[in-house]
Each structure stands twice: as C-alpha cells, then as structure tokens.
Structure 1
Amino acid sequence: MKLAIAVHFDGAQAHAAAVAFEAWDSAEATKTYLSRIAHVEKAERGSLDLRELPCVMQLLREHRLEPELILIDGFVHLDADETPGLGQHLFHALGGVVPVVGVSKSGLPGLSSQFEVTREEETKPLLVTCAGIDIGAAKARLRAMHGRKRIPTLMKLVARLAKNGD
C-alpha cells in the first residue's frame, strides 16, 4: 500500500490524514486514516519547520501503517545538493526503508527544472523531490496519478481530509 499524507494545523492542534492506494492511477482511496494531535509545538523562527514530522509519525503508529511508499505535500530536500527537508527527515525516521516522494506547488531557489513535472499542458509544473526512489521514477509515477489539471485527485482528497478533520 502507498500513502498520500497531509497535515493541517489549527492553532496548537493538528490533523494528520492519509489516503491509501494501490495503483498510481487510482481515482479513489482504498482506505482513509485520520489522527488528531492535541498539541503541536510552535515552529522555531529561522529554522526548518518540522512540526509535521511528529504528526505523521503519530498517524503511522496510531493506525499501525506500514506503507511501501509515502507521498507528502512538501519537500524531501530543499535544493539540488539535497539539503534535508521534511521528507528527508521522515525517510530517516522510518529507518531509510520507506521511499518518500515530496510534491510541491511552489518552487525553491535551489531546485532546477530537473525537479519539475508538468501533468497537463498549460499548467504550472509541480516540483518533485524524493528519497529512496529514483527521481525519474518518482516523476513518472506522479505524472501517472489520476486527476485533471495540476494536482492529483488523491492529493486533493488527503489535503481536504486533513483540513476538515473528518
């Protein structure tokens, strides 16, 4: 099973959501998961915001999830030199055995066009970074995901679940 994961913060609380899927072109999740996190520390000013990491780890533990791959809304690394981002920290927290693919709608100065994926003509590209999987394979799989326009259907669903908390 593959998981798309999103975290939504609401003040000092958060909701972590995941949608499970088997095939990259799946239009629907095989199962959904939600965890409520009662208290999340504030982000430290001037440092990488890793508040999502304990939320994701709680979600995985709480639901006893052992995915073959995790897809996150965010960056695995922050530049071509692979400066660690949230996804890289997640990859290491999981023992370096579960590939993590990060997808972002906005760019970072250190990421070149080699990280871009255009899912539909005349839309802005998404940026893909990854750990534990080849970048070419990650881009091809993201391109194959179900959904019209820029954002895959399952990524929209997991974001909505996290935001609504139900």
Structure 2
Amino acid sequence: MIYAFDTYYYDDYANTVCLAFQDWDSAQETEIFSEKTAITSDYESGAFYKRELPCIVSLLNKINLQPCDVIIVDGYVTLDENGKHGLGGYLYEALDQKFPVVGIAKNGFNSNDPERRMVFRGESKTPLFLTAKGIDVDAVQTEIEGMHGSFRIPTLLKKLDQLTRS
C-alpha cells in the first residue's frame, strides 16, 4: 500500500489527510484518513518539519503499516549532498527507518543533491522534485512518471491537496 500525506494550516488547527492507494498507477484511493490537530509550532524558516512532522506522526498512529508499505510526503526527504534531512528524512528516522519515504516537492530547493531527481509529467515543462530514503530513487522516479493523470501533479496527489484545504 502507498500512503500519501499532506497538511494544511488554518488559524487555529492543522488538517492532515492521508490517501491510501494500492499501486503507483492507481486512479482511485482505497481509503482516506484525516485528522485535525492543534498547531504545536509556529512556522520556522528552515525547520518546516517541526510543524508538520507531529501532524503526520499523529495520523500515522491510526494506520496499521505493513513492511512493504511506502509513504509519500509533500516536500523533501533530503535537502543537500550531505544528506541534510527535510520533512521526509525526519519522518524516515521517526519510523526507525522501517518504511521507505518518498518526497515529492512542487518547488525547487537551491542546493546540490545528487539523489534529487526532476520528474516531468504530461506536457508540463515544470518538474516535480523527487527525493527518497529506504527505496531506490531512480526506480521511484519511473513510478512517479507513470502515476495516474496527464498533468504535472498526479491525480491522487492533486486530490490530496484539495482535501487538506476543505
């Protein structure tokens, strides 16, 4: 199973949603998990994970992960060539490195990371930025390119983003 997470912040709470789907090319989710939580940290430039990681971990506690499951986050797993953690890297560590974590970011990050891949989907000239831990990033790149939908953002990730905002 693949579990994709995203969080949207309102004035007084965070809305975290997870879409579970069977295969990389699935057009429909098999289950939706969601949770509203108190915001435990203000936004801190360069430390985004401090705000979002508690939300994801809290929702993950409601999901019975299996050894072959993969987790997707909206953001980066690694940030540079030294392996500096992004949100996904901190999540990978919080899960004791037991589950692969894939980061799919919409915006570029200005650092050199030989493990970062640009993914071009559909007719878009603007890439998604892919990083991962616990899984081969090149193999995942092929999967992301083949995800359902003909636009830059795969169908289920677009739906996930919309659900966090509703």
Q: Same fold (TM over 0.5)?
A: yes
Q: Distance in 2 between matches of 1:39 and 1:88?
A: 21
Query: Which ranges of structure 2 fall in alignment gaps of 5 or more residues?
Result: none
SS in 2 for 1:18: strand
- Output aligned runs, 1:53-72, within 5 Å: 53-61=53-61, 63-66=62-65, 68-72=69-73
After TM superposition, give the deviation of residue 111 of structure 1 in Å: 4.1
Structure 2 CA distance for partners of 1:95 and 1:147, relative to 1, 3 Å? same
Q: Which amino acid aligns with 1:14?
A: A
SS in 1 for 2:109: coil
Q: Deviations over 1:15-73 (max 9, x none)?
A: 110000011111110111111103332133x5412211000011011x23315111111
Which position in structure 2 is the counterpart of 1:100?
101
Structure 2 CA distance for partners of 1:111 and 1:144, relative to 1, 3 Å? farther
Bigger RCO (CA 8 Å, 6+ sep) = 1
Q: Distance in 2 between matches of 1:41 and 1:145?
A: 33
Which position in structure 2 is the counterpart of 1:163?
165
Structure 2 CA distance for partners of 1:80 and 1:59, relative to 1, 3 Å? same
Q: Distance in 2 between matches of 1:96 and 1:136?
A: 19
Q: Distance in 2 between matches of 1:28 and 1:152?
A: 11
State the TM-score, normalized to the length of structure 2: 0.91
- Output aligned runs, 1:133-144, within 5 Å: 133-144=135-146
Structure 2 CA distance for partners of 1:151 and 1:47, relative to 1, 3 Å? closer
SS in 1 for 2:81: coil
SS in 2 for 1:95: coil
Are the aligned partners of 1:8 and 1:16 in contact in 2 as well (CA < 8 Å)? yes
How many correspondences in the alignment? Answer: 162
Asked whether 1:116 is paired with 2:118, we answer yes
Q: Which amino acid aligns with 2:143?
A: R
Structure 2 CA distance for partners of 1:112 and 1:86, relative to 1, 3 Å? closer
Q: Which amino acid aligns with 1:28?
A: Q
State the TM-score, normalized to the length of structure 1: 0.91
- Output aligned runs, 1:1-166, within 5 Å: 1-44=1-44, 46-50=45-49, 51-61=51-61, 63-66=62-65, 68-111=69-112, 115-164=117-166
Q: Which amino acid aligns with 2:148?
A: H
Q: Distance in 2 between matches of 1:144 and 1:153?
A: 11
Are the aligned partners of 2:88 and 2:103 in contact in 1 as well (CA < 8 Å)? yes
Q: CA RMSD in A?
A: 1.6
Q: Distance in 1 between matches of 2:72 and 2:162?
A: 15
Q: Distance in 1 between matches of 2:95 and 2:13?
A: 23
Are the aligned partners of 2:76 and 2:103 in contact in 1 as well (CA < 8 Å)? yes
SS in 1 for 2:77: coil
Q: Which amino acid aligns with 2:32?
A: T
Q: Distance in 2 between matches of 1:65 and 1:8?
A: 23
